[in-house]
Amino acid sequence: MTYLDNAATTFPKPECVYREMDDISRNYAVNAGRGSYKAAQKAVKVIDDTRAALLKLFNAEGIADVVLTASVTQALNIVLAGLGLKEGSMVYISPYEHNAVVRTLHMLQKEAGFTVKEMPLTKGLEIDLGRLEFEFAQNHPSVVVSTAVSNVTGYVLPIGDIFQSAKKYDAVTITDAAQAAGLIKMDVRDLKADILCFAGHKTLYGPFGIAGFVMKKDVELKQTFAGGTGSHSLSPEMPQNAPERFEAGSCNIVAVKGLYAALGALEQEEHYRKIKEITEYAINALEVVPGISILGRTKGQLGIISFVADGYSSDEIGKILDEEYDIAVRTGYHCAPLIHKHLKDEPYEGTVRIGLGYFNTEENIDKLAEALISL
Ligand code: PLP
């Protein structure tokens, strides 16, 4: 298989991820924080080391906590529900948000009746920072949510600039770094991000089942679910300290160990260089294929390309690529409903999306281009 669906999940993972997950599964995959025997202590150390590695990656040491969750969708639900949004709250989101943000806010909005506004875009589908500043001044933001890299077009959003403007009004700033963590520099201090949500299984090259959020210590977030934490067990109250107060339930220690191994193998600058290079190679290769149009192109676009083909629906292209060439891509609407309106891709029933990963080669792209030329 030629795997070009790395935006859905990166595959394969670095060898050490498989090795370490196998090792812990066989030797000490016990319930961390629930027992004081040696294997349980070893499991706790894996979690502590992973939190430390994540704090380092996001330059958040000393100012933030790392909350571990099963998925970034769960992380965004905990974060958005915990903000206590109410009537009068003004939430700005980028038009590139994933349904993990869009649907979650929609669900909460039905209860609480706050306002959600989409940030304005330029004709080139980039965030219009001038107009955004104006809108912030007219309707002060309470919360600003922006994905760091679009999972549909690979657009790298100017989250540092967006959050800088939002901070003039003391808004809580949240980034969904599912497609960015480990790929671009995500420094929560520089970016003025209060909360950064990450997915272990995407650009961090960890396994499924582990994700979370890094949250600055001065952010107020209420808990929205409760359960066992292995501490203060006689009390009906959840422990009040972070991250425990957001982490009820047993931890997926095997996945944490996989993520820890992936973080150890990660070299963010080299990763960025490689993905930038192969993205440019792929854009150049696709641009010259007759009948193919790349949608939503932006300067600096990274790792993800959406395109359509004259005379075909996106699903038809996906099927041909799979059945005749064994090339795996994603087709349709990529769980990011707002941006598809701007891409005007309805006649094609969405786009064909390629997601490039560290292990892709120029030969993979040549194979895709040749397949598309033969359509
Ligand atoms: N946010 C973005 C930007 C994504 O690309 C995705 C997955 O495609 C998600 C959130 C949700 O990830 P998960 O399904 O792993 O929770």
Picking from 237, 263, 289, the residue at the C-terminal end of a domain is: 263
Same domain, 46 and 125: yes
**Same domain (yes/no): 246, 362:** no
115 and 44 belong to one structural domain: yes
Distance, CA 98 to ligand 1 centroid (Å)? 7
Tell me the residue range of the domain where 301 lies: 2-10+267-373
> Which residue's alpha carbon is nearest to atom 11 within ligand 1?
73
Same-domain pairing of 363 and 291:
yes
At residue 231 the predicted structure's pLDDT band, cuts being 50, 70 and 90, is confident
* pLDDT at 33 exceeding the cut of 90: no
278 shares a domain with 250: no
pLDDT of residue 36: 87
Q: What percentage of the chain exceeds 90 in pLDDT?
A: 97
CA of 177 to the centre of ligand 1 (A): 9
The best mutation among 179, 186, 339, 353 to test binding of ligand 1, ranked by most ligand atoms within 8 Å of the C-beta, falls on: 179
Distance 42 CA to ligand 1 centre (A): 30
355 C-alpha to ligand 1 centroid (Å) = 13
Residue bearing the CA closest to ligand 1, atom 5: 151
Domain boundary among 235, 263, 291: 263
pLDDT at residue 160, as a whole number: 98
Give 60-70 pLDDT, tens digit per residue. 999 999 999 99
Domain CATH for 303: 3.90.1150.10
Please give the number of the atom of ligand 1 that sits closest to the Cα of 75.
16
374 residue type, one letter: S
Residues 180, 280: one domain?
no
Q: Which of 176, 205, 333, 338 to mutate to test the pocket of ligand 1 (most atoms within 8 A of CB)?
A: 176
- What is the CA(38)–ligand 1 centre distance, in A? 36
Mean per-residue pLDDT, 51-61 = 98
**Pocket residues for ligand 1 (CB within 6 Å)?**
71-73, 98, 100, 147, 151, 176, 178-179, 199, 335
Query: How does residue 35 score in pLDDT terms, banded at 50, 70 and 90?
Result: confident
Separation of 73 CA from ligand 1 center, angstroms?
Answer: 6
Mean pLDDT, range 15-44, rounded to an integer:
94
CA of 228 to the centre of ligand 1 (A): 27
The whole-number pLDDT of residue 232 equals 86
CATH of the domain at 56: 3.40.640.10
What atom in ligand 1 is closest to the CA of residue 96?
3
- Do 195 and 336 fall within a single domain? no
Q: Please give the model's pTM, rounded to 2 decimal places.
A: 0.97
Tell which one of 6, 11, 73, 145 to mutate to probe ligand 1, the residue whose CB is within 8 A of the most ligand atoms. 73
90 Cα–ligand 1 center, Å: 24
pLDDT tens sequence across 91-147: 999 999 999 999 999 999 999 999 999 999 999 999 999 999 999 999 999 999 999
Q: How many domains does the chain contain in total? A: 2
What pLDDT is attached to residue 182? 98
Asked if residue 277 and residue 356 are part of one domain, the reply reads yes
CA of 36 to the centre of ligand 1 (A): 35
Q: Looking at the CA of residue 151, tell me the nearest atom of ligand 1.
A: 5
Considering only 31-35, 44-48, 195-199, 216-220, which range has the smallest mean pLDDT? 31-35
Kindly report, residue by residue over 149-185, the tens digit of the pLDDT.
999 999 999 999 999 999 999 999 999 999 999 999 9
Q: Are residues 284 and 208 in the same domain?
A: no
If asked whether residues 331 and 231 sit together in one domain, one would say no
| Average pLDDT of the residues in 8-22 | 98
Mean pLDDT taken over the chain: 97
Pocket test for ligand 1, best of 5, 78, 151 (most atoms within 8 A of CB): 151
Q: Are residues 282 and 258 part of one domain?
A: no
Give the rounded percent of residues in the chain with a pLDDT score beyond 70.
Answer: 100
Last residue within a domain, chosen from 230, 263, 296: 263
Q: Does one domain contain both 145 and 191? A: yes
Task: State in Å: Cα 174 to ligand 1 middle.
Answer: 15
SS3 string, the chain, reads CEECECCCCCCCCCHHHHHHHHHHHHHCCCCCCCCCCHHHHHHHHHHHHHHHHHHHHCCCCCCEEEEEECCHHHHHHHHHHHCCCCCCCEEEECCCCCHHHHHHHHHHHHHHCCEEEECCECCCCCECHHHHHHHHHHCCCCEEEEECECCCCCCECCHHHHHHHHHCCCCEEEEECCCCECCECCCHHHHCCCEEEEECCCCCCCCCCCEEEEEECCCCCCCCCCCCCCCCCCCCCCCCCCCHHHCCCCCCHHHHHHHHHHHHHCCHHHHHHHHHHHHHHHHHHHHCCCCEEEECCCCCCCCEEEEEECCCCHHHHHHHHHHHHCEECEEECCCCHHHHHHHCCHHHCCEEEEECCCCCCHHHHHHHHHHHHCC
